[in-house]
């Protein structure tokens, strides 16, 4: 996609936490010159775990990738801003919404959404078995 047909710039979300900023490098490219989808998925999994960790207060594991949508390619040198927020808290699991926005290297300050996902994490004990998430005031997790 040429810069002339780039998607319109969007505003960053204000109802989510900025949990990670990262810049993909040439070693993260696929044969087409775009960033590997798997590399983006790994960054989303890392970023997605930040907010649930405030609730689980201990070990947790990714148990599901409920949805993963690549909206635009990620390019070398893009500055990725990854946002997350809790969408559901169960007895042992937490589901989060994750959105990835890119600032193209040549258009810093202008953002496009490149990926969105929903992931579920489960709180686990020292033996890797699911455990109950401690009850807490949601305001305390901010």
Residue 7: its pLDDT value, please? 76
Supply the pTM of this predicted model.
0.87
How many domains does the structure of the chain reveal?
Answer: 1
Mean pLDDT of the chain: 91
CA dist 65 and 79 (Å) reads: 24
pLDDT above 70 as % of the chain:
92
- Domain of 38, in residue numbers: 3-141
Which ranges of 11-131 would DSSP assign to H, the alpha helix? 37-48, 50-56
Average pLDDT over residues 31-52: 95
From residue 138, how far is each of 27, 51, 85, 89, 99 by CA, in Å? 40, 11, 12, 10, 21
pLDDT at 16 over 80: yes
- CATH number for the domain spanning 46: value is 3.10.129.10
pLDDT in tens, 91-138: 999 999 999 999 987 777 889 999 999 999 999 999 999 999 998 765
């Amino acid at each position: 996609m040429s810069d002339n047909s780039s998607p319109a710039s969007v505003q960053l979300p204000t109802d989510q936490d900025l949990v990670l900023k990262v810049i993909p490098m040439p070693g993260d490219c696929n044969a087409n010159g775009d960033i590997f989808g798997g590399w983006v998925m790994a960054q989303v999994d890392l970023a997605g775990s930040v907010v649930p960790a405030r609730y689980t207060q201990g070990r947790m594991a990714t148990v599901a990738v409920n949805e993963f949508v690549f909206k635009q390619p990620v390019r070398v040198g893009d500055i990725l801003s990854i946002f997350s927020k809790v969408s559901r808290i169960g007895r042992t699991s937490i589901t989060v919404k994750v959105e990835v926005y890119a600032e193209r290297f040549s258009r810093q300050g202008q953002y496009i959404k490149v990926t969105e996902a929903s992931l579920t994490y489960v709180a686990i004990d020292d033996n890797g078995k699911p455990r109950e998430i401690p009850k807490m005031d949601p305001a305390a997790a901010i």
